[in-house]
């Protein structure tokens, strides 16, 4: 699926942190396949689009215009896997400043709902451990 979005002029940019559980869930959903994940945030009438580089948010009233984007994720800059992930919040739309207060929490809920609806599909293979490895390699 190809969607073309427009971005207005950048109105503001600020450093933020995304909880590790939310960041990790975005990566897990992307790993299920495809180039992007579409996350409807029904409580706010917003669509989040996750790709490898950023997460953009589009308001239902202006379907082809990016209101805000989360960019420059830096998971390597955290001190532990459960530490928040730094990123940059970029405001493009005037109303993005207003809805940002709710967006991170509502996005987390919408991600969890999406993950629950679409469990991972695939096969797994359990490999037997040779007796010599179980005994410490002796």
In a domain, residue 1? The reply is: no
* Confidence at residue 127, expressed as pLDDT on a 0 to 100 scale: 73
User: Is residue 2 situated within a structural domain?
Assistant: no
Spatial contact of 39 and 58, defined as CB atoms under 8 Å apart: no
* Residue 56: inside a domain: yes
Whether residue 72 lies inside any domain: the answer is yes
Q: Which domain holds residue 48?
A: 12-134
Q: In this predicted structure, what is the pLDDT of residue 99?
A: 80
pLDDT at residue 118 in the model? 64
pLDDT of the chain, 138 residues: tens digit per residue = 677 889 989 999 999 999 999 999 999 999 887 889 999 999 999 999 999 999 999 988 888 889 999 999 999 988 898 999 999 999 998 777 778 878 989 999 999 999 888 666 666 677 777 777 655 555
Its sign, for the CA torsion 11, 86, 56, 98, is negative
Task: Determine the pLDDT at residue 120.
Answer: 61
Structural domain includes residue 114 = yes
pLDDT score recorded for residue 93: 83
Number of domains into which the chain is organized: 1
Q: Is residue 43 part of a domain?
A: yes
Q: Flag whether 5 is in a domain.
A: no
């Amino acid at each position: 699926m190809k969607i073309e979005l427009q971005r207005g002029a950048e109105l503001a940019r600020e450093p933020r942190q995304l909880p590790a559980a939310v960041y990790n869930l975005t990566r897990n959903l992307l790993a299920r396949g495809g180039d992007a994940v579409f996350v409807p945030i029904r409580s706010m009438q917003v669509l989040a689009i996750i790709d490898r580089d950023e997460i953009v948010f589009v308001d239902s009233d202006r379907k082809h215009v990016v209101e805000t984007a989360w960019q420059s994720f830096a998971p390597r800059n955290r001190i532990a896997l459960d530490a928040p992930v730094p990123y940059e919040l970029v405001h493009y739309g005037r109303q993005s400043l207003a809805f940002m207060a709710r967006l991170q929490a509502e996005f987390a809920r919408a991600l969890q709902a999406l993950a629950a609806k679409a469990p991972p599909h695939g096969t797994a293979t359990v490999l037997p451990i040779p007796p010599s490895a179980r005994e410490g390699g002796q």
